[in-house]
Amino acid sequence: MRVVVTGGAGFIGTAVVRALAPTVDDVVVLDSLRPDVHRDAGTAARDRMSALGAQLVEADVRDLPTVRAHLRGADAVVHLAAKVGLGVDLDDMDDYVSSNSLGTATVLRACHSAGVRHVVQASSMVVYGEGAYTCDTHGPVSPALRTTDRLDRGDFDPGCPVCGADLSPALVGEDTAPDPRNTYAATKVAQEQLAAVWARETGGAATSLRLHNVYGPGMPRATPYSGVAAIFWTAAAQGLSPQVYEDGGQRRDFVHVDDVAAAFVAALLRDVPGHTAYNVGSGVVHTIGDLAAKLSLLAGAPHPVVTGRYRLGDVRHITASSERAARELGWRATVPLRAGLDGLSFS
């Protein structure tokens, strides 16, 4: 079996390539080695891929002739290449759309030309926006957008769109309608929709894995595009207090990168025509403040500082059920948060 992994030299990609190595005959990695991700010009990434026995091709997924050439003879594609994170401001919007939406369309077009009929795509829990909530009076509701007026007052939790009362966060299932709240989220929805169109028109199998907050060995150091675990750990490892936005009560699901890699392998083994989405999380809810406190303790750093600052594009609570992945892929996360944090390191 020959598998092409786009974005395979990155944090999650490296774990996926490592997990694939014992189970497939040939792994080809396409990665642009963009400098905002690989600050050493890709030297460490090249060394990692070589050690794993994978062929690394420096290529942008928007380069159709190059992508198509390397997909010939492949049995499946794992599509990870994307610009990630919330970003800095609207000046990032065109780069997100080009890298993620156009990049995915180009990969899918190349799959069609090369005869590849199985694609597993990295999506994200951000497609759900504010997720699922329940009002004591009005039942399940979709909360309205959080406004700057509320956030400036420190009123971080969204209220009921009908009566304004406090809401109880609930787990989100895959059938929940997408509700992207920032540019990155909008591009992840677009990626899924493009994969669904491709599967319908070709008869191929497309799987979108909606990843929760991924952490683990090899995660990138803090940048404006890093996940919150990397941002906190960068500060704590330098003996500084992690800076926690809002009041630290935001609910998230932190899933270890090795569990995520296992989910991709499981999805590759399910070659069913059509498009299917799966939540990929640990199933255990933690708060942002709880994560910061654990990382500070682990690094011997000062306690986190709760700043009250906010980013308008952030969501308050987003946690989801991963039971569909357990039923249909036979996958469950196995690494507890504390055990996973003990093995943290940077790429």
Cα separation, 1 vs 106, in Å, equals 23
Residue 112, Ramachandran bin (φ over 0: left; ψ between -120 and 50: alpha; else beta): alpha
- Give the type of residue at 251: R
Handedness of CA 59, 96, 102, 191 (dihedral sign): positive
Active site residue 310: no
Strands of the chain, DSSP E: 2-6, 26-31, 55-58, 76-79, 118-124, 132-135, 139-141, 168-170, 205-211, 213-215, 243-244, 251-252, 254-256, 274-280, 286-287, 305-306
Q: How far is CA 60 from the centre of its chain?
A: 19
Q: What share of the chain is helix, strand, coil (3-state, %, to 5)?
A: 35, 20, 45
Angstrom distance (rounded) from CA 133 to CA 117: 37
Q: Residues 213, 279: contact at Cβ < 8 Å?
A: no
Distance, CA of 41 to CA of 192 (rounded, Å): 30
- Strand, helix or coil for residue 115: coil
CA end-to-end span of the chain: 29
C-alpha torsion angle, residues 69, 185, 49, 46 (rounded to 10): 90
Among 128, 184, 215, 278, the active-site one is: 184
**What is the torsional sign of CA 159, 160, 163, 166?**
negative
Q: Which active-site residues does the annotation give? A: 184
